[in-house]
Amino acid sequence: MRKNKILVIHTGGIGDLVMATPSLKAIRHVFSKATIHFLGNPKSVEVIQRLPYVDEILKINTVEVKRYFLA
């Protein structure tokens, strides 16, 4: 049997994350057996750590990534 994995990528601000929280809850509800990974900036990670919908949290410095690709 294949295990489902979902990666949620967030590069916006805290307000965007707050608005997306119901979506994370819905993803968890629909894909209850999936492993959900969250990739976001350090501020987002602080918020997401308090939510039960994500299994693994990964940090990325979005400022550096944007600088790299927009340079």
Look at residue 12 in the predicted model and tell me its pLDDT. Answer: 83
Strand, coil or helix: 9: strand
* pLDDT for position 64: 80
Give the pLDDT confidence score for residue 68 in this predicted structure: 79
Reported pTM: 0.80
Strands of 5-10's sheet in order across: 5-10, 35-40, 56-59
Determine contact, residues 56/35, Cβ cutoff 8 Å.
yes
pLDDT along the chain (71 residues), means of 10: 84 89 95 94 88 93 79 65
